[in-house]
């Protein structure tokens, strides 16, 4: 069964342009206006702190097992990179690359919104060329892959040129030190057509199943299917979240903000992501590189 997305969750396209590349910016502008108002309430000191936070990076470490296991544990280390919104390779991006190279990861998962504008395709190309050659690297589309104005096929070509598997309603099985992991990537909830049935058709058996989403609300759509672990981004942790309160989040966030959600259909980790969108600041939601040591048997 294909995922059926309620009309309200999609961005309306102008007449005659059913997939207008700038559609994602319409609700995002409303979100940012409200976020700016909230940031302004904190005064100048909060604004300065927000600008400083924009170049900070928190490396968060997690241990995860889908079920209690007996006997020796085998783990796969997953690095989750999302919402880069690349415009340049600056201090934050350099720090991220350094941490990825130092972390001995087995799998790097990119979960969308790599660039906002087609003019930045060369930055994406450079960033992927400088990423470590982990045993497995996979990527999916977010709303800004559609909103960038760069055709989705060009996104795929750039990723695959650097050995990154482009998974839009596709599954692959990758070999890791802990066993075979099926990785399923679904299309974006807001601007694409997520189809778990197509993604899992003829999928080979594996020891564990990783599901990649951009919008975490997709995890609550039954037709998205089940997996052992899901990774999502999109929310930026609110991006402007004074005292940790994310009053405003983009559509497609659902009830999710950041961190672990083990009560979802599939246990899910939602990252705060790396970059910013609209407002060039972060308040109470520092950029994040999650590293997950996943026991799969």
10 within domain boundaries: no
pLDDT digits (tens, 9 = 90+) for 96-134: 999 999 999 999 999 999 999 999 999 999 999 999 999
What is the pTM (predicted TM-score) of this model?
Answer: 0.83
- What is the spatial distance between Cα 63 and Cα 292, in angstroms, rounded to a whole number? 6
- What is the spatial distance between Cα 221 and Cα 118, in angstroms, rounded to a whole number? 31
| Boundaries of domain holding 103 | 21-295
1 within domain boundaries: no
The Cα angle at residue 218 between residues 292 and 154, in degrees rounded to 5: 80
pLDDT digits (tens, 9 = 90+) for 21-72: 445 555 555 555 555 555 454 444 444 555 555 578 999 999 999 776 666 7
**Contact in structure between 161 and 126 (CB atoms under 8 Å):** no
13 within domain boundaries: no
The Cα angle at residue 155 between residues 160 and 257, in degrees rounded to 5: 105
105: domain CATH number? 3.60.21
6 within domain boundaries: no
Number of domains present in the structure of the chain: 1
Q: Which residue has the tokens 């005292």?
A: 243
136 within domain boundaries: yes
Count of other CB atoms within 10 angstroms of residue 283: 25
9 within domain boundaries: no
256 within domain boundaries: yes
**Contact in structure between 74 and 295 (CB atoms under 8 Å):** yes
């Amino acid at each position: 069964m294909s995922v059926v997305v309620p009309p309200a969750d999609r961005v309306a396209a102008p007449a005659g342009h059913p997939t207008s590349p700038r559609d994602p910016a319409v609700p995002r502008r409303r979100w940012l206006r409200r976020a700016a108002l909230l940031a302004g309430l904190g005064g100048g000191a909060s604004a300065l702190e927000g600008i400083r936070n924009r170049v900070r990076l928190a490396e968060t470490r997690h241990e995860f097992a889908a079920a209690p296991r007996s006997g020796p544990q085998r783990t796969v280390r997953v690095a989750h990179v999302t919402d880069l919104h690349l415009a340049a390779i600056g201090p934050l991006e350099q720090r991220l690359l350094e941490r990825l190279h130092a972390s001995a990861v087995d799998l790097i998962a990119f979960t969308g919104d790599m660039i906002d504008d087609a003019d930045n395709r060369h930055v994406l190309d450079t960033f992927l060329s400088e990423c470590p050659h982990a045993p497995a690297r996979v990527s999916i589309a977010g709303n800004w892959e559609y909103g960038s104005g760069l055709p989705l096929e060009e996104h795929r070509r750039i990723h695959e040129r650097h050995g990154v598997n482009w998974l839009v309603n596709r599954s692959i099985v990758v070999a890791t030190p802990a066993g075979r992991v099926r990785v399923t990537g679904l299309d974006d909830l807001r601007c694409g057509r997520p189809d778990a049935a197509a993604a899992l058709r003829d999928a080979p058996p594996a020891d564990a199943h990783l599901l990649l989403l951009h919008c975490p609300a997709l995890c609550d759509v039954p037709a998205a299917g089940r997996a052992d672990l899901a990774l999502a981004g999109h929310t930026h942790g609110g991006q402007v979240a004074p005292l940790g309160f994310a009053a405003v989040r983009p559509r497609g966030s659902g009830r999710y903000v950041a961190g672990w959600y083990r009560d979802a259909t599939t246990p899910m980790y939602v990252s705060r992501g790396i970059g910013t969108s609209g407002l060039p600041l972060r308040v109470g939601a520092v950029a994040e590189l999650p590293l997950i040591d996943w026991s799969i048997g």
